[in-house]
């Protein structure tokens, strides 16, 4: 089940259909070649939710066409249901949300009916970035949710995690797998919560670069990283609160990988429509080498943002399902550490992605035995 039928969710559904028919290679799916009992062919999109009035009621086929993707006919089988806009949906979106026309309590009840009908094994949150604070107490969180005081990603997670045997995967920067109350609740209800914020693009590369420098005992003097793009996510980040939320997940690893926090400027920087989903990233790093000499590195890149996330979703759907089946509950740090920018649960120590991948392989071997 997909929450937020934006470009990432649409590339995922479109690409998945093509993979299942053998029309494409699974490039960008990290564990594509590893068998742990849930082949890609088993995945299915059972429901889709959005608040954008131009999407609600349309099929994924129609949505894919609007994004200039040539969809497979199967995509016509799923239509976009209305979701919850709450206070955290960006103002530039014209909404057709459940809470546009119903009192919040009723809107939430309707959303729960949707969950009852769809019976998803895995729910992905790929909605727009929202600012949040970690939730520390489940009951207080439930009260706040009903009063409309929580942002939509936390409300969605809360509604999923009331249920048993389901995995909620939070691909965006809100505190979900990094909210103690939500991880505990997943444990209690026999579910899983994964997140937060899919680590595609420049951040995971910067983590590995930082490890590369740390292993050579090179002293990092400064890191500047700019990101600019033309998709809805970048548009939403022009609102300062959202930008701050994103900035936090982007640089959380520095202290843990380097052992100190060098001066840095790591931010999504702006919106520039003609760049589209293929963002432009520029990064400058300088460090002290042996003898006090200073080296400099500049990275620039054009990265297709949404396809990178969609490739991860293929893995995460399979991993979440296999883990539930193998009896895992709460959250999965081994999974989060590789796929996420701010891996839950709170307190987990970040590490280089190349090292996290080794731990992930170990974890996957355990699933395979399940």
User: Nearest distance from residue 335's CB to a second copy, in Å?
Assistant: 14
User: Nearest distance from residue 126's CB to a second copy, in Å?
Assistant: 14
Q: Is position 307 an interface residue for a second copy (rule: CB under 8 A)? A: yes
Residues 6 or more apart from 133 whose CB is under 8 A from it? 175
Q: Is position 366 an interface residue for a second copy (rule: CB under 8 A)? A: no
- Which 11-30 positions form the footprint of a second copy (CB under 8 A)? 11, 14-15, 18, 24-30
Question: Segment contacting a second copy (CB under 8 A): 9-17, 50-58, 108-116, 161-169?
Answer: 9-17
- Which 195-254 positions form the footprint of a second copy (CB under 8 A)? 204-205, 208-209, 211-212, 215-219, 221-222, 224, 226, 228
Q: Is position 298 an interface residue for a second copy (rule: CB under 8 A)? A: yes
User: Nearest distance from residue 324's CB to a second copy, in Å?
Assistant: 24
Between 137 and 265, name the residue whose CB sits nearer to a second copy.
Answer: 265
Question: Segment contacting a second copy (CB under 8 A): 53-61, 79-87, 104-112, 298-306?
Answer: 298-306
Q: Is position 67 an interface residue for a second copy (rule: CB under 8 A)? A: no
Q: Is position 297 an interface residue for a second copy (rule: CB under 8 A)? A: yes
Between 32 and 46, name the residue whose CB sits nearer to a second copy.
Answer: 32
Instruction: List the x/- string, 336-355, binding to a second copy by CB under 8 A.
Output: ----------------xxxx
């Amino acid at each position: 089940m997909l929450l937020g039928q934006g470009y990432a969710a649409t590339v995922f559904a479109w690409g998945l259909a093509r993979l299942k028919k053998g029309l494409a290679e699974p490039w960008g799916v990290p564990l594509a070649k590893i068998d742990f009992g849930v082949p890609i062919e088993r995945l299915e999109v059972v429901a889709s939710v959005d608040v954008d009035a131009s999407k609600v009621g349309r099929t994924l086929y129609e949505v894919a066409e609007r994004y200039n993707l040539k969809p497979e006919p199967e995509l016509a089988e799923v239509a976009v249901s209305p979701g919850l806009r709450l206070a955290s949906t960006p103002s530039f979106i014209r909404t057709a949300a459940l809470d546009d026309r119903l009192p919040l309590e009723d809107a939430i009840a309707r959303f729960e009916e949707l969950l009852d009908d769809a019976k998803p094994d895995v729910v992905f949150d790929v909605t727009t970035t929202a600012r949040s604070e970690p939730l520390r107490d489940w009951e207080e969180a439930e009260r706040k949710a009903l009063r409309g005081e929580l942002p939509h990603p936390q409300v969605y997670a809360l509604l999923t995690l009331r249920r048993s045997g389901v995995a909620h995967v939070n691909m965006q920067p809100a505190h979900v797998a990094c909210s103690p109350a939500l991880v505990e609740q997943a444990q209690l209800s026999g579910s899983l919560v994964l997140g937060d914020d899919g680590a595609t693009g420049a951040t995971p590369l910067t983590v590995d670069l930082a490890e590369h420098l740390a292993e050579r005992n090179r002293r990092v003097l400064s890191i500047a990283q700019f990101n600019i793009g033309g998709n809805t996510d970048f548009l939403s980040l022009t609102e300062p609160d959202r930008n701050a939320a994103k900035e936090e997940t982007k640089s959380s690893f520095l202290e843990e990988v380097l052992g100190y926090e060098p001066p840095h400027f790591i931010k999504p920087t702006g919106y520039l429509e003609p760049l589209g989903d293929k963002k432009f990233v520029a990064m400058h790093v300088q460090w002290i080498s042996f003898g006090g000499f200073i080296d400099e590195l500049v990275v620039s890149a054009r990265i297709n943002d949404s396809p990178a996330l969609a490739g991860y979703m293929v893995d995460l759907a399979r991993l979440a399902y296999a883990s539930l089946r193998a009896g895992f509950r709460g959250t999965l740090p081994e999974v989060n550490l590789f796929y996420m920018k701010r891996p839950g649960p709170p307190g987990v120590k970040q590490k280089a992605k190349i090292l996290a991948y080794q731990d992930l392989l170990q974890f996957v071997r355990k699933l395979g035995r399940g």
